[in-house]
Amino acid sequence: MEAPLFLSMLLPVHSVLLELPKLCPECLPETLETEYFGGRPGQDPPRLSWPVSAEVFEQAARSGKVLILENASAGMALEGWSCERLSQEFPDAKMRREYDWVKNPQDQNLQDFSKMSWTSAQEQGEDADERLRQDSSAPPFAPFYWGVREHQQGNLGSKKVMKRIRDLITTSVPSFMDKKNAASLFDNAEFWMGAKGTGARAHMDSHCISTLSVVLHGERRWRIGPVPRLPKGAGRSPKGEVVFDDGVAYQLGWKPMFEFTLKEGEAVLFPPGWIHETLNTAEGCTIALTTQFDIPVPVRYYRTFYNRLRRVGDLNACWEWMVKWAGGKVSKDLAQAKTMAQEMFSKTGAKLKQQQVDFFDLNEDGNVTQDEFVSTFVAWTATEQAIKKEKPKSLPKCDMAWDDKVLLKEGEL
């Protein structure tokens, strides 16, 4: 399929998409999730077959899409690495078992790679019975985690080990991705490993950049869904508050938008804030490399779902970015905001940085007109004002739906 045609299918024009109720009449709109992300709800997100086009991948990543990428590990230095090989190559490295809070309350790396019994271990981990009661599809056993991203804290392996794994990861930038992502791929790298039945419970990460997770060996089931809706009156998280820690999604009746299995060599791409869960389904030990990359930042996604992303505490580290892209200063009223936007555009309209272009470029043609800039700035101002009126709550009243029922009024359809 030609790239332009595929892009038109994957990245539909925003003006024709269904929208959710706004936080206020003048606020930024939020697109209906099933319209924006496509795919088959309850099953697979859109899939890119090999070879993956660099152009298509960049545009999808810029918009914060969710994709399955075939043969994503092709050409990577780590292609096909098994748990056993990782253990043989790094016998002195150390990792930890997740959900081991009683025995290991400080999350220390206590597991030696060389002791191969970990590759077949099936241990429940703390609160496993409660999580399975809340959601019978949750992973029953705890995975092992080698948090390379924590390399500066030590206790992961010798300097020699860390230098070698750095070299392996930085030379494993997928062919469809900007090579300048090498450093961020290493700085954010995590290896998730374990026997059949092990996996990470549903949670939300605090990353502000997109995630790519590649199955190096084995097979892994994913369940994944968008940041929950936060309608008017639902409240907002205080800064620094984490909402979707272990178990919270299950307690709130989480229903993933996509459920799919990645085979060896395949990867999934998803934007910041998506609640996700994994389950190793192959016989033997499955190993996946999960990491984040900073080129491009999914600014279009932040604009499209600004209302919820700006209010869920797990992403509070991203709030400063969001405000900066939009202009930084919130006006007292919308008339003043319009005047300010017009003045700003006359001075800097031709000098906008790429991330600002992505925020204001509503039709995504690569250019920002004065109308686009002014209308978006005014809507952003209204949204910020509406958000500040929301009451701070440790647990905002999340709407876990992602279907179109909220759009239906009596007599419609």
DSSP state string for 291-360: EEE-SS--HHHHHHTHHHHTT-GGGGGGHHHHHHHHTS---SSHHHHHHHHHHHHHHHGGG--HHHHHHH
Determine the Cα–Cα distance for residues 194 and 11; give it in Å rounded to an integer. 36
Q: Residues 7, 38: contact at Cβ < 8 Å?
A: no
- The model's pTM is 0.93
Determine the Cα–Cα distance for residues 67 and 40; give it in Å rounded to an integer. 11
Q: What is the pLDDT of residue 6?
A: 44
Single out the residue in 247, 275, 298 at which a domain terminates: 298
SS3 84: helix
Which residue, among 152, 189, 150, has the nearest Cα to 173 in the 3D structure? 189
Q: Mind listing the pLDDT tens digit for each residue in 382-398? A: 999 999 999 999 999 99
Q: What percent of the chain has pLDDT over 70?
A: 94
Distances (CA, A) of 208 to 188, 204, 293, 305: 11, 11, 10, 14
Beta-ladder partners of 151: none
Single out the residue in 265, 298, 331 at which a domain terminates: 298
Within a domain: residue 413? no
SS3 365: coil
Which residue, among 214, 387, 358, has the nearest Cα to 300 in the 3D structure? 358
Shared domain check, 356 and 274: no
Q: Mind listing the pLDDT tens digit for each residue in 338-362? A: 999 999 999 987 799 999 999 999 9
Q: Residues 91, 114: contact at Cβ < 8 Å?
A: yes
Could you state, in chain order, the average pLDDT of each consecutive group of 10 residues for the chain (413 residues)?
42 63 96 95 94 95 97 95 96 96 94 94 96 97 97 91 96 95 97 98 97 98 98 95 94 96 98 98 98 98 98 97 92 93 90 95 94 97 97 95 68 38
Within a domain: residue 353? yes
Q: Mind listing the pLDDT tens digit for each residue in 39-76? A: 999 999 999 999 999 999 999 999 999 999 999 999 99
Residue with tokens 């060896």: 264
Shared domain check, 320 and 272: no
Q: Residues 276, 38: contact at Cβ < 8 Å?
A: no
Is beta strand 47-48 parallel, antiparallel or unpaired with respect to 67-69? parallel
- In the predicted model, what is the mean pLDDT of the chain? 93
Within a domain: residue 155? yes
Task: Quickly list H helices, 158-215.
Answer: 159-170, 182-187
Q: What is the pLDDT of residue 4?
A: 38
Residues 6+ apart with CB under 8 A from 330: 337, 381, 384, 385
Shared domain check, 207 and 72: yes
Single out the residue in 276, 298, 320 at which a domain terminates: 298
Shared domain check, 182 and 308: no
Which domain range does residue 356 map to? 3-35+300-402
Q: What is the pLDDT of residue 349?
A: 79
